[in-house]
Amino acid sequence: MIKRIAMVVAACALAGNVLAAGDAEAGKGKTVACGACHGADGNSLVPSFPKLAGQHAGYLLKQMQDIKSGARPVPTMAGQLDAMSDQDLADIAAYFASQTPTRGATKEALVELGERVWRAGVREKGIAACAACHSPTGAGNGPAKYPALSGQHADYIAAALRAFRNDERTNDGDTRIMRDVAARLSDKELEAVSSYASGLH
């Protein structure tokens, strides 16, 4: 009997440490301030602010946790998440993930180079195809927390790649996947693949 009680107590203790799944409906009411930069439905109209609509909830949650902890410094987000619990962040992530993203566009002059880098990488530089992690359609990989990039602002993608290249953004983990890729891209390749990813759908 005592053993059974101990097992129940242990199970309850463990359950308290597990974050409940995000609630999109609850998240909607927590995104009022977010809408000023990212749009009420997560479709930012400003190219320097990322679109959050349709992004994988797990990826969004990780990024918000990293911003809150300082693992990913974003000056424009300073203080925005400080008072929020992990459940609040999960709810916000669920809300934006449930929204429909708007489409982006690829600059015609950059299509050929952008497609080549996206689909095949740059072999002579040891750069793998972007599609390998972010999918051929730019839908990303939710379980792996690789973001969807289709429809994202090209300017934002390019800025993120430059931040990885300059070690200003290091939350790609110990494997340094994005930092290593970005460091090997030329400025032209970086601009072209950012534009191409934006236009994927």
Which candidate, 138, 134, 193, 135, places its Cα nearest to that of 162? 193
In the chain, at which residue ranges do the beta strands (DSSP E only) sit? none
**Going by C-beta distance under 8 Å and a sequence separation of 6 or more, which residues neighbour residue 152?**
50, 51, 104, 197, 198
- Residues of the chain with pLDDT > 70: what percent? 90
Looking at the structure, give the CATH architecture of the domain made up of residues 108-199: Orthogonal Bundle (1.10)
Which candidate, 97, 186, 197, 187, places its Cα nearest to that of 156? 197
Query: Is the model's pLDDT at 145 over the cut of 80?
Result: yes
Burial of 199 (0-12, 13-18, 19+ CB in 10 A): buried
- pLDDT mean over 181-191: 98
**Going by C-beta distance under 8 Å and a sequence separation of 6 or more, which residues neighbour residue 69?**
none
Looking at the structure, give the CATH architecture of the domain made up of residues 21-97: Orthogonal Bundle (1.10)
Where are the chain's structural domains?
A: 21-97, 108-199
Under the banding of pLDDT at 50, 70 and 90, the label for residue 1 is very low
Amino acid identity of residue 6, one-letter, is: A
Under the banding of pLDDT at 50, 70 and 90, the label for residue 19 is low
What was the pLDDT predicted at 121? 98
